[in-house]
């Protein structure tokens, strides 16, 4: 199947309020253009250098999602154009994003990454630490960073009930955070969870943004 067909097949199954982020990391610009020409606008990358190169070469109407672990010293390269940063996990990083947003005279939308899996490889904040962050003076001083929701990655396991429980936990925390910290901010509305292998489970648990790579572009090959 072609990239266009893959995207249509996934979109057919999605409720209207769910955003599909096509994860194009490691994939060539020609593939992104195929999806773009079929009307797709949201793409996800996890390396700053790769993202900035693609941004420079491709149509400026694309919404670029940064989905990887972001180092503070690299924020400046994506700050002028990034649509959404998915994996923010510290106040330090938010403060750098604030500074770069100000330089670019824009607001930058971010999701807090919550650790929902016990796996060592997964980044993210424990829920309690995320709550402390949101209650801190440092956070209340930020003017150009907009927290628009939460993001999480489930364990890489076969067992669907483990994955579903992790997603359900994140959905519950999302609702609690919305009620506690964002009750007067409708902008807090995005729950980014679900990848190729587990997005159907994520949707059942209330995800409204899924990040799909291999099911659209094929398996990735790393050199």
**C-beta neighbour count of 127 within 10 angstroms:** 19
Helix, strand, coil shares of the chain as percentages rounded to 5?
40, 20, 40
**C-beta neighbour count of 208 within 10 angstroms:** 21
Q: What is the nearest approach in angstroms of ligand PLP to the Cβ of residue 108?
A: 18
Of the candidate residues 99, 197, 204, 206, the single one contacting ligand PLP (CB under 6 A): 197
User: Closest residue (Cβ) to ligand PLP?
Assistant: 213
Of the candidate residues 46, 109, 117, 208, the single one contacting ligand PLP (CB under 6 A): 46
Residue 67 or 84: the one with the smaller Cβ distance to ligand PLP is 67
Q: What is the nearest approach in angstroms of ligand PLP to the Cβ of residue 209?
A: 10
Provide the CA 130 distance to its chain's centre, in angstroms: 16
Q: Are 22 and 44 in contact (CB under 8 A)?
A: yes
Q: What is the nearest approach in angstroms of ligand PLP to the Cβ of residue 67?
A: 4
d(CA 166, CA 46): 23
Of the candidate residues 10, 35, 67, 112, the single one contacting ligand PLP (CB under 6 A): 67
Q: What is the nearest approach in angstroms of ligand PLP to the Cβ of residue 46?
A: 5
Stretch that binds ligand PLP, among 55-63, 76-84, 128-136, 206-214 (CB under 6 A): 206-214
Instruction: Note whether 211 binds ligand PLP by CB under 6 A.
Output: yes
Q: What is the nearest approach in angstroms of ligand PLP to the Cβ of residue 146?
A: 20
Binding to ligand PLP, residues 116-175 (CB under 6 A): 153
Cα angle, residue 112 at apex, residues 84 and 43 outer, rounded to 5°: 25
d(CA 31, CA 147): 31
* Cβ-Cβ contacts under 8 Å for 52 (sequence gap 6 or more): 77, 78
Q: Are 217 and 34 in contact (CB under 8 A)?
A: no
| Residues lying near ligand PLP in the complex (CB under 6 A) | 23, 25, 46, 67-68, 153, 195-197, 211-215
């Amino acid at each position: 199947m072609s990239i266009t067909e893959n995207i249509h097949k996934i979109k057919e199954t999605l409720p209207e309020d769910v955003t599909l982020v096509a994860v194009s990391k490691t994939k060539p610009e020609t593939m992104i253009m195929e999806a773009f020409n079929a009307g797709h606008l949201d793409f996800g990358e996890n390396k700053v250098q790769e993202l900035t190169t693609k941004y420079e070469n491709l149509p400026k109407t694309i919404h670029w999602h940064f989905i990887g672990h972001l180092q503070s010293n690299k924020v400046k390269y994506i700050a002028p154009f990034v649509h959404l940063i998915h994996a923010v996990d510290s106040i330090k990083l938010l403060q750098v994003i604030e500074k770069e947003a100000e330089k670019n005279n824009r607001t930058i939308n971010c999701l807090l990454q919550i650790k929902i899996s016990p796996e060592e490889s997964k980044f993210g904040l424990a829920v309690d630490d995320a709550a402390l962050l949101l209650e801190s003076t440092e956070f209340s001083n930020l003017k150009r960073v907009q927290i628009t929701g939460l993001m999480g990655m489930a364990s890489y396991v076969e067992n669907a009930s483990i994955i579903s429980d992790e997603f359900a936990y994140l959905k519950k925390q999302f609702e609690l955070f919305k009620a506690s910290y964002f009750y007067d901010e409708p902008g807090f509305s995005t729950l980014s969870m679900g990848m190729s292998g587990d997005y159907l489970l994520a949707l059942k648990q209330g995800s409204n943004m899924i990040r799909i790579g291999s099911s659209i572009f094929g398996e990735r090959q790393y050199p």
